[in-house]
Copies of this chain bind each other. A is one copy, B any other.
Amino acid sequence: MNRKQLIELIKRKRSYLCVGLDSDITKIPNHLLDNDDPVFEFNKQIIKATIDFTVAYKPNLAFYEARGMQGILSLHKTMQFLDQFSNECFTIADAKRGDIGNTSTQYATAFFDKKASGFNFDAVTVAPYMGEDSVSPFLKFEEKWVIILALTSNKGASDFQLNTDVNNQRLFEDVLKTSSQWGSPENTMYVVGATRAEMLSEVRSIVPDHFLLVPGVGAQGGSLEEVARFGLNDDCGILVNASRSIIFASNQPDFTQKATDEAATMQKQMEATLREKGII
């Protein structure tokens, strides 16, 4: 999906909600455990329950890899199920990959090249520590996106990302400035945590046009209002992720209804912010 299509999708659904499929098998409703593939069944029901309010789905690879072959199979089935909604949602492999050039080419193949790997994600998250040649192989795939970690939502973000260099610039600022030259707003997004919403305006001053993927709203405590205030640009320019607060809103048979309610509530707030900003 290209940038124009993504923006149209956001306007059509009046939402910039991304649902994180951190589908931990120990947290899904008990009654699903009798299924052949409980995680796939859970994902399928969550997707059906939220698709009207959601523009992106973001499976977190770790939760699938932790279950070995069975987990990877659940992810393949989930992505095959999502294929029917390919015009209705953007898909993100939250994988935090990144390696030397020839290896990053293989990772790009793993997530983007359906013929080779079975996966056809629109985007993949990448750590910037290894620099340009670890990111650029992902940018060679047309209408695919790399989402580079800039300022993350966790406590450890302050260990290195806020380091100030000799030019009085913090590491995440350098990552934004340097890496925004590798690609363009047509194929590059950034992860900026909602738990540091006040920093979104600093981020916006460096990358005014890029989409930002904003985790940390919901279970991690970030505020949607603040994210919208500081993060929105004229094209919307943000995808706000919520995982646990939606997918684990209930662990009872009513989990789909609760997930719908949570997603609908967020969509309503998002619609209001999009109207306020004059985007829709």
Contact = CB atoms under 8 A, between A and B. Distances in A.
Nearest to A153: B100
A163 B274 CA distance: 39
A241 to B, nearest CB: 12
Q: How many of these chains are in the complex?
A: 2
Contacts of A22: 102-103
B72 A128 contact: no
B174 A163 contact: yes
A154 B62 contact: no
B65 A76 contact: no
A68 B118 contact: yes
Interface stretch (A130-138, A225-233, A256-264): A130-138
A50 B187 CA distance: 42
B171 A62 contact: no
Interface in A119-176: 119, 127-135, 149, 152-161, 163-166, 168, 171, 174-175
A158 B174 CA distance: 13
A98 interface: yes
Range class of the A interface residue count: 35 or more
Contact of A100 (B67, B154, B163, B178): B154
A237 interface: no
B130 A156 contact: yes
B156 A116 contact: no
A67 B107 CA distance: 10
Contacts of A106: 24, 60, 62-63, 65-66
Interface string A35-62: 0000000000000000000000000101
8 contacts: A22-B103, A62-B97, A62-B106, A96-B127, A96-B130, A127-B129, A129-B161, A135-B156
Given A66-B113, A100-B152, 10 more contacts: A22-B102, A68-B110, A68-B117, A69-B73, A96-B127, A100-B154, A128-B160, A129-B129, A132-B156, A160-B171
